[in-house]
Protein backbone atom coordinates (compact mmCIF):
# COMPACT_ATOMS: atom_id res chain seq x y z
CA UNK A 1 0.00 0.00 0.00
CA UNK A 2 1.46 3.33 -1.01
CA UNK A 3 1.69 6.44 1.13
CA UNK A 4 0.71 9.95 0.10
CA UNK A 5 -0.33 13.14 1.82
CA UNK A 6 -3.98 13.81 2.57
CA UNK A 7 -5.86 17.06 2.10
CA UNK A 8 -5.18 17.87 5.77
CA UNK A 9 -1.48 17.99 4.99
CA UNK A 10 -0.14 16.29 8.08
CA UNK A 11 -2.10 13.05 7.94
CA UNK A 12 -0.57 10.33 5.75
CA UNK A 13 -2.87 8.46 3.39
CA UNK A 14 -3.02 4.74 2.72
CA UNK A 15 -3.63 3.72 -0.90
CA UNK A 16 -6.27 1.01 -1.09
CA UNK A 17 -6.26 -1.96 -3.48
CA UNK A 18 -8.67 -0.08 -5.81
CA UNK A 19 -6.36 2.95 -6.07
CA UNK A 20 -8.32 5.27 -3.76
CA UNK A 21 -6.51 6.96 -0.87
CA UNK A 22 -7.82 7.01 2.71
CA UNK A 23 -6.44 9.27 5.47
CA UNK A 24 -4.77 7.00 8.01
CA UNK A 25 -6.29 8.94 10.93
CA UNK A 26 -10.00 9.68 11.08
CA UNK A 27 -12.76 10.47 13.57
CA UNK A 28 -15.23 7.80 14.76
CA UNK A 29 -18.80 8.68 15.74
CA UNK A 30 -20.00 5.44 17.38
CA UNK A 31 -21.95 6.22 20.58
CA UNK A 32 -22.19 9.93 19.85
CA UNK A 33 -25.84 10.86 20.31
CA UNK A 34 -27.43 12.16 17.10
CA UNK A 35 -28.04 15.51 18.80
CA UNK A 36 -24.32 15.89 19.54
CA UNK A 37 -22.92 14.46 16.31
CA UNK A 38 -23.01 17.49 14.01
CA UNK A 39 -21.19 19.68 16.57
CA UNK A 40 -18.60 16.98 17.36
CA UNK A 41 -17.96 16.26 13.67
CA UNK A 42 -17.70 19.97 12.86
CA UNK A 43 -15.17 20.35 15.67
CA UNK A 44 -13.17 17.41 14.30
CA UNK A 45 -13.19 18.89 10.79
CA UNK A 46 -12.06 22.21 12.26
CA UNK A 47 -9.12 20.50 13.96
CA UNK A 48 -8.12 18.93 10.65
CA UNK A 49 -9.66 15.47 10.55
CA UNK A 50 -10.69 14.64 6.98
CA UNK A 51 -12.00 11.12 7.50
CA UNK A 52 -15.23 10.32 9.36
CA UNK A 53 -16.34 6.79 10.27
CA UNK A 54 -20.09 6.33 10.78
CA UNK A 55 -22.64 3.54 10.25
CA UNK A 56 -26.34 3.17 9.68
CA UNK A 57 -26.52 1.42 13.08
CA UNK A 58 -25.07 4.48 14.85
CA UNK A 59 -28.18 6.48 13.92
CA UNK A 60 -26.19 9.63 13.14
CA UNK A 61 -25.48 9.57 9.40
CA UNK A 62 -27.76 12.57 8.83
CA UNK A 63 -25.81 14.67 11.33
CA UNK A 64 -22.46 13.63 9.85
CA UNK A 65 -23.70 14.78 6.44
CA UNK A 66 -24.89 18.06 7.92
CA UNK A 67 -21.49 18.69 9.52
CA UNK A 68 -19.65 18.03 6.25
CA UNK A 69 -22.05 20.36 4.41
CA UNK A 70 -21.66 23.13 7.02
CA UNK A 71 -17.89 22.75 7.43
CA UNK A 72 -16.91 24.65 4.31
CA UNK A 73 -14.84 21.63 3.22
CA UNK A 74 -15.59 20.45 -0.27
CA UNK A 75 -17.18 17.01 -0.37
CA UNK A 76 -14.14 15.60 -2.15
CA UNK A 77 -11.85 16.68 0.70
CA UNK A 78 -13.60 14.57 3.34
CA UNK A 79 -13.44 10.77 3.30
CA UNK A 80 -16.69 9.36 4.72
CA UNK A 81 -17.30 5.70 5.57
CA UNK A 82 -20.65 4.14 6.40
CA UNK A 83 -21.76 0.57 6.98
CA UNK A 84 -24.69 -1.72 6.21
CA UNK A 85 -27.02 -2.37 9.15
CA UNK A 86 -27.17 -5.99 10.33
CA UNK A 87 -30.89 -6.15 9.53
CA UNK A 88 -30.41 -5.58 5.81
CA UNK A 89 -28.08 -8.28 4.45
CA UNK A 90 -30.49 -9.62 1.84
CA UNK A 91 -29.71 -7.93 -1.49
CA UNK A 92 -32.99 -6.03 -1.92
CA UNK A 93 -32.86 -4.85 1.69
CA UNK A 94 -29.23 -3.83 1.24
CA UNK A 95 -30.12 -1.78 -1.85
CA UNK A 96 -32.88 0.05 0.03
CA UNK A 97 -30.63 0.58 3.06
CA UNK A 98 -27.82 1.98 0.95
CA UNK A 99 -30.24 4.36 -0.80
CA UNK A 100 -31.31 5.59 2.66
CA UNK A 101 -27.69 6.02 3.76
CA UNK A 102 -27.02 8.30 0.79
CA UNK A 103 -30.25 10.23 1.39
CA UNK A 104 -29.45 10.66 5.09
CA UNK A 105 -25.89 11.80 4.42
CA UNK A 106 -27.24 13.94 1.54
CA UNK A 107 -24.34 12.67 -0.59
CA UNK A 108 -24.35 11.15 -4.04
CA UNK A 109 -21.55 8.79 -3.03
CA UNK A 110 -19.75 7.49 0.05
CA UNK A 111 -16.01 7.04 -0.02
CA UNK A 112 -16.22 3.63 1.63
CA UNK A 113 -19.13 1.32 2.39
CA UNK A 114 -18.72 -1.75 4.58
CA UNK A 115 -20.67 -4.85 5.58
CA UNK A 116 -20.74 -4.07 9.31
CA UNK A 117 -20.69 -7.70 10.58
CA UNK A 118 -20.47 -11.06 8.75
CA UNK A 119 -23.36 -12.59 10.82
CA UNK A 120 -22.38 -16.15 9.81
CA UNK A 121 -25.19 -17.67 11.91
CA UNK A 122 -27.90 -15.61 10.17
CA UNK A 123 -29.12 -15.36 6.55
CA UNK A 124 -28.12 -19.04 5.99
CA UNK A 125 -24.52 -17.91 6.41
CA UNK A 126 -24.75 -16.04 3.12
CA UNK A 127 -22.69 -12.88 3.34
CA UNK A 128 -21.49 -13.52 -0.23
CA UNK A 129 -24.73 -12.25 -1.84
CA UNK A 130 -24.48 -9.22 0.42
CA UNK A 131 -20.92 -8.63 -0.78
CA UNK A 132 -22.06 -8.95 -4.42
CA UNK A 133 -24.59 -6.20 -3.73
CA UNK A 134 -21.83 -3.92 -2.45
CA UNK A 135 -19.94 -4.68 -5.68
CA UNK A 136 -22.99 -3.29 -7.55
CA UNK A 137 -22.81 -0.08 -5.47
CA UNK A 138 -19.16 0.33 -6.41
CA UNK A 139 -19.84 -0.31 -10.12
CA UNK A 140 -22.57 2.34 -9.99
CA UNK A 141 -20.03 4.82 -8.55
CA UNK A 142 -22.14 5.33 -5.43
CA UNK A 143 -19.51 3.71 -3.18
CA UNK A 144 -16.00 4.65 -4.28
CA UNK A 145 -14.50 1.82 -2.23
CA UNK A 146 -16.11 -1.20 -0.60
CA UNK A 147 -14.99 -3.38 2.25
CA UNK A 148 -16.01 -5.38 5.26
CA UNK A 149 -15.88 -5.16 9.02
CA UNK A 150 -15.34 -7.87 11.62
CA UNK A 151 -14.50 -10.51 8.99
CA UNK A 152 -12.20 -13.38 9.98
CA UNK A 153 -9.81 -14.95 7.43
CA UNK A 154 -12.24 -17.82 6.73
CA UNK A 155 -14.99 -15.30 5.91
CA UNK A 156 -12.62 -13.39 3.63
CA UNK A 157 -11.62 -16.65 1.89
CA UNK A 158 -15.21 -17.10 0.73
CA UNK A 159 -15.41 -13.58 -0.72
CA UNK A 160 -12.14 -14.12 -2.61
CA UNK A 161 -13.21 -17.53 -3.88
CA UNK A 162 -16.79 -16.71 -4.83
CA UNK A 163 -16.51 -13.15 -6.20
CA UNK A 164 -14.05 -11.17 -8.28
CA UNK A 165 -13.59 -8.21 -5.90
CA UNK A 166 -11.33 -8.36 -2.85
CA UNK A 167 -12.47 -6.00 -0.05
CA UNK A 168 -10.42 -2.80 0.12
CA UNK A 169 -10.48 -2.81 3.92
CA UNK A 170 -11.36 -5.01 6.87
CA UNK A 171 -12.34 -2.97 9.92
CA UNK A 172 -11.72 -5.02 13.08
CA UNK A 173 -11.41 -4.56 16.83
CA UNK A 174 -7.69 -3.95 17.35
CA UNK A 175 -5.69 -2.44 20.23
CA UNK A 176 -2.69 -3.42 22.39
CA UNK A 177 -4.71 -6.10 24.23
CA UNK A 178 -5.98 -7.58 20.93
CA UNK A 179 -3.26 -7.20 18.32
CA UNK A 180 -4.95 -9.39 15.68
CA UNK A 181 -1.72 -10.60 14.03
CA UNK A 182 -3.44 -13.40 12.08
CA UNK A 183 -6.12 -11.15 10.54
CA UNK A 184 -3.56 -8.40 9.82
CA UNK A 185 -1.23 -10.90 8.13
CA UNK A 186 -4.11 -12.15 5.97
CA UNK A 187 -4.85 -8.56 4.98
CA UNK A 188 -1.20 -7.87 4.13
CA UNK A 189 -1.06 -10.99 1.95
CA UNK A 190 -4.25 -10.15 0.07
CA UNK A 191 -3.95 -6.34 -0.12
CA UNK A 192 -6.78 -5.71 2.31
CA UNK A 193 -6.02 -2.65 4.48
CA UNK A 194 -6.62 -3.15 8.19
CA UNK A 195 -8.71 -0.59 10.05
CA UNK A 196 -8.51 -0.72 13.86
CA UNK A 197 -11.77 -0.06 15.69
CA UNK A 198 -11.71 0.90 19.37
CA UNK A 199 -8.02 1.74 18.84
CA UNK A 200 -7.55 2.75 22.50
CA UNK A 201 -9.94 -0.02 23.65
CA UNK A 202 -12.40 2.69 24.77
CA UNK A 203 -9.79 3.79 27.34
CA UNK A 204 -9.07 0.32 28.80
CA UNK A 205 -5.38 0.27 27.74
CA UNK A 206 -4.58 3.83 28.82
CA UNK A 207 -3.70 2.87 32.41
CA UNK A 208 -1.36 0.08 31.34
CA UNK A 209 2.10 0.34 32.97
CA UNK A 210 4.06 -0.39 29.80
CA UNK A 211 2.12 2.23 27.85
CA UNK A 212 2.50 4.75 30.69
CA UNK A 213 6.27 4.15 30.72
CA UNK A 214 6.57 4.74 26.97
CA UNK A 215 4.39 7.85 27.29
CA UNK A 216 6.63 9.24 30.04
CA UNK A 217 9.73 8.47 27.95
CA UNK A 218 8.50 10.24 24.80
CA UNK A 219 6.67 13.01 26.66
CA UNK A 220 3.24 12.18 25.22
CA UNK A 221 -0.07 10.93 26.60
CA UNK A 222 -0.93 7.21 26.68
CA UNK A 223 -3.62 7.75 24.01
CA UNK A 224 -1.09 9.44 21.69
CA UNK A 225 1.36 6.59 22.20
CA UNK A 226 -1.24 3.93 21.41
CA UNK A 227 -2.49 5.77 18.31
CA UNK A 228 1.11 6.28 17.16
CA UNK A 229 1.73 2.53 17.63
CA UNK A 230 -1.18 1.81 15.26
CA UNK A 231 0.10 4.28 12.65
CA UNK A 232 3.61 2.84 12.69
CA UNK A 233 2.12 -0.63 12.16
CA UNK A 234 0.44 0.77 9.04
CA UNK A 235 -3.14 0.41 10.25
CA UNK A 236 -5.94 2.98 9.87
CA UNK A 237 -7.54 4.46 13.04
CA UNK A 238 -10.48 6.72 13.92
CA UNK A 239 -10.64 7.33 17.67
CA UNK A 240 -13.91 8.74 19.01
CA UNK A 241 -14.20 11.60 21.46
CA UNK A 242 -16.82 14.22 22.18
CA UNK A 243 -14.23 16.40 23.94
CA UNK A 244 -12.41 18.93 21.75
CA UNK A 245 -9.22 18.73 23.86
CA UNK A 246 -9.06 14.94 23.33
CA UNK A 247 -9.89 15.29 19.63
CA UNK A 248 -6.85 17.57 19.34
CA UNK A 249 -4.69 15.28 21.48
CA UNK A 250 -5.60 12.32 19.27
CA UNK A 251 -4.75 14.33 16.14
CA UNK A 252 -1.30 15.42 17.36
CA UNK A 253 0.57 12.20 16.66
CA UNK A 254 2.63 13.04 13.59
CA UNK A 255 5.58 14.81 15.21
CA UNK A 256 7.13 11.98 17.22
CA UNK A 257 8.05 8.35 16.68
CA UNK A 258 8.25 5.21 18.77
CA UNK A 259 11.46 3.20 18.51
CA UNK A 260 11.55 -0.53 17.77
CA UNK A 261 11.71 -1.48 21.46
CA UNK A 262 8.69 0.69 22.34
CA UNK A 263 6.76 -0.81 19.42
CA UNK A 264 7.66 -4.38 20.41
CA UNK A 265 6.85 -3.73 24.08
CA UNK A 266 3.35 -2.51 23.23
CA UNK A 267 2.73 -5.34 20.76
CA UNK A 268 3.77 -7.83 23.47
CA UNK A 269 0.84 -6.65 25.62
CA UNK A 270 -1.53 -8.77 23.51
CA UNK A 271 -3.94 -10.91 25.57
CA UNK A 272 -6.38 -11.69 22.75
CA UNK A 273 -8.88 -9.74 24.88
CA UNK A 274 -11.97 -8.49 23.08
CA UNK A 275 -14.07 -5.65 24.45
CA UNK A 276 -16.63 -6.23 21.69
CA UNK A 277 -18.41 -9.32 20.34
CA UNK A 278 -16.90 -12.35 18.63
CA UNK A 279 -17.57 -12.06 14.87
CA UNK A 280 -18.19 -15.82 14.54
CA UNK A 281 -21.14 -15.77 16.94
CA UNK A 282 -22.43 -12.16 16.93
CA UNK A 283 -26.01 -12.16 15.69
CA UNK A 284 -27.50 -8.87 16.88
CA UNK A 285 -30.15 -7.40 14.59
CA UNK A 286 -31.65 -4.07 15.67
CA UNK A 287 -35.42 -4.16 16.12
N1 LIG B 1 -17.01 -1.79 12.87
C2 LIG B 1 -17.36 -1.97 14.12
O3 LIG B 1 -17.98 -2.98 14.46
C4 LIG B 1 -17.01 -0.92 15.12
C5 LIG B 1 -17.21 -1.17 16.49
C6 LIG B 1 -16.84 -0.18 17.40
C7 LIG B 1 -16.29 1.01 16.94
N8 LIG B 1 -16.14 1.24 15.59
C9 LIG B 1 -15.58 2.51 15.08
O10 LIG B 1 -14.36 2.80 15.75
C11 LIG B 1 -14.46 4.10 16.35
C12 LIG B 1 -13.62 4.18 17.60
O13 LIG B 1 -13.97 3.14 18.51
P14 LIG B 1 -14.69 3.39 19.92
O15 LIG B 1 -15.45 4.64 19.83
O16 LIG B 1 -15.42 2.15 20.28
O17 LIG B 1 -13.47 3.47 20.95
P18 LIG B 1 -12.11 4.31 21.11
O19 LIG B 1 -11.95 5.31 20.04
O20 LIG B 1 -11.03 3.29 21.36
O21 LIG B 1 -12.36 5.03 22.51
C22 LIG B 1 -13.35 6.01 22.68
C23 LIG B 1 -13.49 6.26 24.19
O24 LIG B 1 -12.25 6.75 24.72
C25 LIG B 1 -12.42 8.09 25.23
N26 LIG B 1 -11.26 8.86 24.71
C27 LIG B 1 -11.06 9.29 23.45
N28 LIG B 1 -9.88 9.91 23.35
C29 LIG B 1 -9.31 9.87 24.59
C30 LIG B 1 -8.10 10.36 25.11
N31 LIG B 1 -7.23 11.02 24.35
N32 LIG B 1 -7.83 10.13 26.42
C33 LIG B 1 -8.71 9.46 27.21
N34 LIG B 1 -9.88 8.97 26.75
C35 LIG B 1 -10.18 9.18 25.46
C36 LIG B 1 -13.75 8.59 24.71
O37 LIG B 1 -14.41 9.38 25.68
P38 LIG B 1 -14.95 10.88 25.37
O39 LIG B 1 -15.81 10.82 24.13
O40 LIG B 1 -15.69 11.21 26.62
O41 LIG B 1 -13.70 11.70 25.16
C42 LIG B 1 -14.53 7.29 24.50
O43 LIG B 1 -15.12 6.89 25.73
C44 LIG B 1 -15.97 4.25 16.59
O45 LIG B 1 -16.35 5.59 16.86
C46 LIG B 1 -16.51 3.70 15.31
O47 LIG B 1 -16.38 4.64 14.26
C48 LIG B 1 -16.49 0.28 14.69
Instruction: List pLDDT tens digits, range 84-97.
Output: 999 999 999 999 99
58 as an active site residue: the answer is: yes
Q: Round to whole Å and give the CA distance between 120 and 214.
A: 40
Are residues 13 and 21 in contact, defined by beta-carbon separation less than 8 angstroms? yes
Q: Is the pTM of this model over 0.85?
A: yes
Dist. CA 109 → ligand 1 center (Å): 25
Are residues 226 and 198 in contact, defined by beta-carbon separation less than 8 angstroms? no
In the predicted model, what is the mean pLDDT of residues 18-23?
98
Alpha helices by DSSP H, 106-218: 128-139, 153-162, 181-190, 209-218
Instruction: Give, using CA atoms, the residue closest to atom 43 of ligand 1.
Output: 202
Question: What is the C-alpha radius of gyration for the chain, rounded to an integer number of angstroms?
Answer: 18
What is the overall mean pLDDT for the chain?
96
Per DSSP (E only), the strands in the chain are 3-5, 12-15, 21-23, 27-28, 51-53, 79-84, 110-115, 143-149, 169-173, 193-197, 236-237
In this predicted model, what pLDDT tens digit does every residue of 165-206 receive, in sequence order?
Answer: 999 999 999 999 999 999 999 999 999 999 999 999 999 999
Best probe residue, ligand 1, of 150, 200, 211, 226 (max atoms within 8 Å of C-beta): 200
Residue 5: predicted pLDDT: 44
Rounded to 10 deg, the angle between the 61-71 and 34-47 helix axes is: 40
Helix (H, G, I), strand (E, B) or coil at 195: strand
Amino acid sequence: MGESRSAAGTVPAVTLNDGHAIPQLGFGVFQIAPGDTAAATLEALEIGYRHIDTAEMYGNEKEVGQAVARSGCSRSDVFVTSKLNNGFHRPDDARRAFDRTLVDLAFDYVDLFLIHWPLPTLYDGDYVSTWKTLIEFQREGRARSIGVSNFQPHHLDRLREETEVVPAVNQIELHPYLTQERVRAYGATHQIATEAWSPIAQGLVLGDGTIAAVAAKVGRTPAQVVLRWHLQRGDIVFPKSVKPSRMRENFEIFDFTLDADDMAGITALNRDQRIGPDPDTFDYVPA
